[in-house]
Structure 1
Amino acid sequence: MPQNEQHQTNKSIVTASTQAATIAANNQANKANAKQKGTGMGACMRGLAIIGIFLHNYCHWLGPMVKENEYTFNQENVASMNRALLHADVHLPLHLLSFFGHYGVPVFLFLSGFGLFKKYNEAYAPAGKFLFGHYLKLFRMMVVGFALFIFIDAQTPPSWRYDSLKIIAQLLMFNNLLPRPDKMIWPGPFWFFGLMMQFYLLYRLMLHRRHWGVTMLVMALCVLVQLQLSPMGETMNRYRYNFMGGMLPFGLGLLYARFQNKFTLWGDDHVKQLGALLICMPLGYYLSQSFVGWTFMPLVVCLSVLLTAQLLARATFLAWLYRALCWMGSISAALFVTHPITRKLIIPISRHGQIYQGLLLYIVASIALAWVIDKLIKRIPLPKC
């Protein structure tokens, strides 16, 4: 081969290799950016959810505020919310937080389903190791808040009367299964730990690496059974305290993770995303008015929070808000386990007439305590399993 032809051939090979390397590097960078963006939006969604939860858990303990429909559906609560809107006063934000704030829980269930699929769908997870490992993660988070709350509760009457069953059931996370769970769990938000343990069992034993139709079937069965129950009965109360009442958002998270590439929520089309969000807001209020609509409300809530996170992630002029929500999401676990402590200490201020002053102090104290406890929890080693 002539020297000039060989030189051209070598040059072409080098160029092709360089282009291939550049393409591979760009693909890796795109994957990394997509992963980071997805993680950031997940943190933003957790931030929005925990804000709703910890503010709701303060406001709904204030006597004059509208009460929520969380475990049962009470039409009178809906009527009270409608009256609060028609005769709006300075307490309207507190009414809205009390009535709607608990919908942060379905968002956490959605994110849990999404995360489990992304982490374990391509990997075999031995059942014993999976369940014990997730129990330890929940226990490490729960026990710190539980210990601190027990101490504060004992020093600030009225104190809760614990018995052996209540304590053991909380530590082993099966208190949701007890009769009248709303009378057996204290602090109230800690019902979530038993709920999550049930979902870990359900996922690993029934849904892990199974056809997506199995998830759809379980979701449909849980919804159909709920629709047959009395809206205000004790059976409904116990049903909603356990995984059946939260299967809809959890299953939605699993399905969204599976079909995420096919269901992009209009990609980068901000106008369509904003339009969908503006539709979801009144739709959510409309669904909250009836028992059937209330059953499907978590779908609209999860979609609304997902759209909000996507819009905030791309809105450069709201980058400060997006970062703040992501930071709130990063301490959401600690805030969840510690806010009952600050609530019990500070809520008397609001009950004695200084409603917003007490709320502001509660917000500051809760976030500060959560920031400290978050660092403590992360320093507690998990046993190898």
Structure 2
Amino acid sequence: MTYDIAIVGAGIAGASLAAELAPHARVLLLEAEDMPGRHATGRSAAFWSETYGGPLIQPLTTASAEGLAPFLQPLGSLHIGRVENEGAVDAFLEEFADSDVELHRVDPASLIPGLRADWTLGVMEPSCAYIDVAGVHADCLSRARRGGATLVVDAGLDVATRADGRWTIDTRAGTFAATMLVNAAGAWADVVAERSGARPLGIRAYRRTVAQLRTSPPPPAGLPHIADIAGRFYFKPEAGGRLWLSPHDETPTDPCDAAPEEYDVALAIDRFQGAVDWHVDAVERRWAGLRSFAPDRLPVYGFAEPGFFWCAGQGGFGIQTAPAAAALAAALLLGHDPAVPGVDPARYAPARFAAG
């Protein structure tokens, strides 16, 4: 059987795209691991923020709100800073001044008990929400299957070759054929390109660390997501009175099964305790995930070479932009008008990396 479209990678990028495409095409979804979503998708910090990723990502995030609505719960995000961060606060507000994102200055001490006195600046982003990442991913896979897509796991790509308008795709699970090949392999996107005879785009993987803490006092009811405006940490309350904390690290790494470093966990705690007077009673869990970026830190959606389509480079915002990104990519693959409100497809096209 020759599929219309084979998608390499069944994380949120590949799964959401398969869900969009399956009613319209014969879709094959190939996953290298024994289950989809083991790396970036399964290790998300699990919040949806319209400002996360900056103003060039915001239209994709905002356009995804409706599709993600069943999986979102109110949270809010409070961006905090010291006096020396006044310029960063002004720049942050200016970046989104022409958008529909609601942002307003607040006194952070009124919202964070135990906040240390030098943290005097605050900007509230009310629309920020918890996101049920597992629910979103499972829903995408379910819709893909209902639409007729075939999922094959333990199917890491060895080599793909194209001849006479058809791809022959050799994997650990066997050989498959498809008319179009989609690279949705996350941190492995450049590897997949090389194995398919396509030009890599310079997509790099970076490690991000998260730890679950038990604190005294526990996070109060109604505490929003808290983010340092200087990008040095963020934390948010979780079920059972726990706290998720990250040092907002981006450590370059080869594509791998990422593991947290003790130094990064300790750094996160040090920065956290520099912001609040809470005591860390225990680090109950720690993990790391991979984020992958193109050189300009924007995602890549589109054909770079005949029959080879990129759906990669989503950084840390792949889940919160998944519905809009999948709608955009599916339209491009099917030859439809890629009409996503506020989104210019050319901004994310791989042609921006043309040689020379």
Q: Do both proteins adopt the same fold according to a TM-score greater than 0.5, normalized to the shorter chain? A: no
Q: So what's the TM-score if we normalise by structure 2?
A: 0.27
| TM-score, with length taken from structure 1 | 0.26
Q: Which structure carries more helix by proportion?
A: 1
- Judging by fraction of residues, say which structure has more strand: 2
Higher relative CO (Cα under 8 Å, sequence separation at least 6) belongs to 1
Q: State the structure with more CA Rg.
A: 1
